[in-house]
Amino acid sequence: MRALQFLALVPVSIALVLACSDSTGLPDPSLTNVTDTVTLYALEGTPVTTPSAYSVPDNRAVRLDQTSAFDFAYNTHTLPDGTRRQLFLPLQTLGLAPGISAAPGLQRRSETFDAITTARSNGYITSDTIPFAVGDRFEIRSRIVSPCTSLGVPQYGKLEVLGVDSTARTVTFQVLTDNNCGYRGLLPGLPPS
């Protein structure tokens, strides 16, 4: 008799669980996506007190003399012919995230900044330098940090390079990050759940 009562409750329990969650299994989003403008200074040839890296979870430029918690850095490289290349360096390229399954990285996109509405899950460059020019656009995938650690999911964003100052050795870009764990919506406002 007890077994029959238990079996009768199973469909009700499943229905309650499904009613309280969405199809992604992620908690409802609570953080609003906003676009910001950020300037990074090259790793080489600029003061150590200037920010050279960007952290998606913190939504800001960071100084490498104060933290190693970032997703990519900026540097330049002069070729033998004197041409200076602009480079983004994902965390693994700097030897700081070996063996991470979902390492932070960038992925080039051809759409306009506003037309990039959803981040892809895969295809990010994580262990190589990424050359760029003014006008280039990228998706960003973060490292996995708290509070997303328990879910095992990164955070996502997008950026568009607005300008490079060769004298000051800086790059300026507009960026939008979705700091809701695992959500891939890249439009301003609260992402749909």
Q: Is 185 within the bounds of a domain?
A: no
Q: How confident is the model at residue 150 (pLDDT cuts 50, 70, 90)?
A: confident
Report the distance separating Cα 164 and Cα 168, nearest Å.
9
CA distances from 14 to 1, 5, 19, 193 (A): 21, 15, 9, 20
Query: Are 92 and 126 spatial neighbours (Cβ–Cβ below 8 Å)?
Result: yes
Residue 57's pLDDT is: 94
Residue 6's pLDDT is: 42
State the pTM of this model. Answer: 0.84
Report the distance separating Cα 144 and Cα 126, nearest Å.
14
Report the distance separating Cα 72 and Cα 88, nearest Å.
6
Q: Is 20 within the bounds of a domain?
A: no
Q: Is 183 within the bounds of a domain?
A: no
- Nearest to residue 162, comparing CAs of 151, 152, 150, 174? 174
Which domain does 120 fall in, by range?
27-178
Q: How confident is the model at residue 24 (pLDDT cuts 50, 70, 90)?
A: low
CA distances from 149 to 39, 99, 102, 143, 144 (A): 28, 16, 12, 10, 6
Q: Is the pLDDT of residue 163 over 80?
A: yes
Report the distance separating Cα 103 and Cα 10, nearest Å.
39
Query: Are 158 and 119 spatial neighbours (Cβ–Cβ below 8 Å)?
Result: yes
Q: Is 9 within the bounds of a domain?
A: no
Q: Is 1 within the bounds of a domain?
A: no
Q: Is 165 within the bounds of a domain?
A: yes
> What's the total number of domains in the chain?
1
